[in-house]
Chains A and B, each alone.
Chain A
Amino acid sequence: MITIDCHLHLGMVGTQVPVWWMEELFGMYGVTDWDSTDGQAIVDILDANGTDAGLVQGGDIRRTTFHPDYPEESAGQIYIPNDWTAEQCELHKGRLYGVTCIDPFRDLPGGVIELERCVTKLGFRSMKLLPSYLHFSPGDPELDPLYRKALELDVPVHFFTGMTPTRTARLEYGDPVLLDSVGRRHRDMKVIVFVNYPWIDQCIALIAKHPNFYADLCYFAGGDSAQLYEVLSKFRTYGALDRVIYGTDNSDKARAFGDVGSVPDLYYGVNKVAEERGGDPFSQDELDAILGGTASKLYKIS
């Protein structure tokens, strides 16, 4: 069985992402030991979690992200180029796979070309879009050429939804309901939705409704098995459990919290919760699919 982490971030503090942004991003959670993350650091997270492969993403949120107290440090950042992501994947072949990151409203035709380049030349497996960070609605028809290209290339489009501590992000564009029109108009396009607070139930309903929508559960990597049991049970009731995929958002519980096991242990713990509550357990096949089987088909990773 292959295990795949669908949600991992690269970024070098100082050269690609400014210190103030890291503080803004992690301060809310009381985390102070954040650091730069290159391919090796990601491989270390994969190893700690006992995971075979990871989808790694850079990012480009320069156009909209700044801090009024640090105008100079904001200039030219936050930008982790796709070519740098490709270099990290090249260094760790078979472990890391690239995710195309573009700002579609910086240069839409250029974004379409960049997606094609990343997939066909660099071997990237998906595209990540950040509507709230980049101030657009994912249902904006302007994005249709990008969606058509993703469909043509047969790569999934991964959307961030929900809240982020980044203050310049616009929360209204994090509403997962905005993806409903994407599902209606592009029925065959594969979409991965980051299921995130505060619209978790709405997000589950959205994914259940659209047969080609998948759920990235990395938000729950920082929780516990009881919370995970609840959310997996909801997907099961909706008949959408086979569209749930594992991710960590760089969480390495073994390292970050010390007293608990790895993130996959949270998944293996759900059946203990089921037993305690007298609920239905999840089969090994179902858990294997969540931890990698479904993602291996989606990203064509074997």
Chain B
Amino acid sequence: MVTVDCHLHLGVIDEHTPAWWWWEQFGFDPTSVDGTAIVEFLDNAGLDVGMVQGGDIRRNTFHPDSPDDRNMYVPNDFTARQCEMYPDRLYGVIGVDPLLDPQESLYEIDRCVEEYNFKVLKLLPTYHHYRPDDRRLDPFYERCLLHDIPVQIHLGWTRTINTTMEHQRPVYLDRIGREFPDLKLIIAHLGHPWVDEAIAVVAKHPNFYAELSGWAAHGMAPHQPVEEAYRALKKLKAYGCLDKIMFGSDNSDCVDLYPLANKLSQKLDGVELYDQITFDMIMGGTAVELFKI
């Protein structure tokens, strides 16, 4: 069984991300993350493969005290270089700001898929200030269908002050599910704190998937990750969609999250949350199929 972490971030402090943003986002000393750091992280967690993403949030992210220090940009070329250094361990996730230059962004998707073999497009509505069902995004969903790659969308909370919370709700994915029924869509972070909305749209749309990355990250959300993961997974199980859940860490040490949630289920309900086959799907099987790795 191949195990996959579907949510990992790259970024070198000062070169790609200013230190102030790191403090705002995480509240502790900035740490650069390159491909080697990610592979070490995977090795420590006992995971085989990682999906690594850069990103471009220059257009909307700034701090009033450091107006010129806003280089929030981890280029796809940097991501590609890290993947080339670790073939079969790291696979690229396309990061674009779709509204910065829509046509160029579409070309960038083509380039990343065709030249670099990137496996998925990442979108960040709350960082880029749009609703995911904004019709300006439709060409991007069409492009993903054309290349037969999934789109992974950040839904839910983040500490970055310039993000817009009104664009974090999973319910805004429903039109995409209706109008692009063949598009494979991954809800990052299960939309926390709009978890029930996220579960509802994952259950409703057969090609919607989700991951709980970041749930165990320090100072992030939720406050009791095991308990809340147990509750969410129990609901997902009731809807018959546990096999649409994928393991993702958001660079945090959480490889035990699912086993601990299962242990809690045994304790509270006297039943397993999942069988071995479903657990294998969560830890990599579903991702292998979805990303074609």
Q: A201-B193, A202-B194, A239-B27 are in contact. Are A180 and B219 (CB under 8 A)?
A: no
Q: From residue A269, how far is it (CB to closest CB) to chain B in Å?
A: 19
Q: How far, in angstroms, from A210 to B222 measured CA to CA in the complex? A: 17
- Are A177 and B159 in contact, CB atoms less than 8 angstroms apart? no
Is A234 close to B, CB under 8 A?
yes
Q: How far, in angstroms, from A160 to B193 measured CA to CA in the complex? A: 20
Is B221 close to A, CB under 8 A?
yes
- Are B165 and A180 in contact, CB atoms less than 8 angstroms apart? yes
Q: How far, in angstroms, from A278 to B223 measured CA to CA in the complex? A: 15
- Are B64 and A187 in contact, CB atoms less than 8 angstroms apart? yes
Q: How far, in angstroms, from A239 to B218 measured CA to CA in the complex? A: 10
Number of interface residues of A (CB under 8 A): 21
Q: A201-B193, A202-B194, A205-B193 are in contact. Are A184 and B161 (CB under 8 A)?
A: yes
23 contacts between A and B (CB under 8 A): A177-B168, A178-B166, A180-B165, A180-B166, A183-B161, A184-B161, A184-B162, A184-B164, A187-B64, A202-B193, A204-B193, A205-B157, A209-B158, A209-B159, A209-B161, A209-B163, A210-B161, A233-B223, A234-B223, A237-B219, A237-B223, A238-B219, A239-B27
- Are B193 and A236 in contact, CB atoms less than 8 angstroms apart? no
Q: How far, in angstroms, from A236 to B164 measured CA to CA in the complex? A: 23
Q: From residue B35, how far is it (CB to closest CB) to chain A in Å?
A: 30
* B163: A residues at CB distance < 8 A: 209
Q: Tell me which of B27, B64, B164, B224 contacts A180 (CB under 8 A).
A: B164
Q: How far, in angstroms, from A206 to B126 measured CA to CA in the complex? A: 13
Q: Name which of B159, B161, B165, B166 has the most chain A CB atoms within 10 A of its CB.
A: B165
Q: 7 smallest A-B Cβ distances: which pairs? A: A237-B223, A201-B193, A180-B165, A234-B223, A205-B157, A177-B165, A177-B166
**Residues of B168-212 contacting chain A, CB below 8 A:** 168, 193-194
Is A302 close to B, CB under 8 A?
no
Q: How far, in angstroms, from A179 to B164 measured CA to CA in the complex? A: 10
- Nearest opposing residue in chain B for A202, CB measure: B193
Q: What mask results when residues 221 to 240 of chain A are scored 1 for a CB within 8 Å of chain B, else 0?
A: 00000000000011011110
Chain B at the A interface: mostly helix, strand, loop or mixed? loop
Q: How far, in angstroms, from A210 to B158 measured CA to CA in the complex? A: 11
* A122: B residues at CB distance < 8 A: none
Q: From residue A187, how far is it (CB to closest CB) to chain B in Å?
A: 7
- Nearest opposing residue in chain A for B169, CB measure: A177
Q: How far, in angstroms, from A153 to B21 measured CA to CA in the complex? A: 30
* A183: B residues at CB distance < 8 A: 161
- Given known contacts A187-B64, A209-B157, A239-B219, what 15 new A-B pairs fall within 8 Å (CB)? A177-B168, A180-B165, A180-B166, A184-B162, A201-B193, A202-B193, A205-B165, A206-B165, A209-B161, A233-B223, A233-B224, A234-B222, A234-B223, A237-B223, A238-B223
* B159: A residues at CB distance < 8 A: 208-209
Q: From residue A134, how far is it (CB to closest CB) to chain B in Å?
A: 20
Q: How far, in angstroms, from A209 to B162 measured CA to CA in the complex? A: 10
Q: How far, in angstroms, from A178 to B162 measured CA to CA in the complex? A: 14
Is A181 close to B, CB under 8 A?
yes
**Residues of A188-207 contacting chain B, CB below 8 A:** 201-202, 204-206
Q: From residue B293, how far is it (CB to closest CB) to chain A in Å?
A: 33
Q: What mask results when residues 218 to 231 of chain B are scored 1 for a CB within 8 Å of chain A, else 0?
A: 01011110000000
* A177: B residues at CB distance < 8 A: 165-166, 168
Q: Tell me which of A178, A210, A233, A238 contacts B221 (CB under 8 A).
A: A238
Q: From residue B154, how far is it (CB to closest CB) to chain A in Å?
A: 14
Q: How far, in angstroms, from A178 to B224 measured CA to CA in the complex? A: 26
Q: How far, in angstroms, from A23 to B193 measured CA to CA in the complex? A: 34
Q: From residue A31, how far is it (CB to closest CB) to chain B in Å?
A: 30
Q: How far, in angstroms, from A184 to B164 measured CA to CA in the complex? A: 9
* B164: A residues at CB distance < 8 A: 180-181, 184
**Residues of A119-153 contacting chain B, CB below 8 A:** none
* B64: A residues at CB distance < 8 A: 187
* A201: B residues at CB distance < 8 A: 193
Q: What mask results when residues 5 to 25 of chain B are scored 1 for a CB within 8 Å of chain A, else 0?
A: 000000000000000000000
- Nearest opposing residue in chain B for A231, CB measure: B223
* A178: B residues at CB distance < 8 A: 166
Q: From residue B23, how far is it (CB to closest CB) to chain A in Å?
A: 11
Q: From residue A301, how far is it (CB to closest CB) to chain B in Å?
A: 29
* A236: B residues at CB distance < 8 A: 223
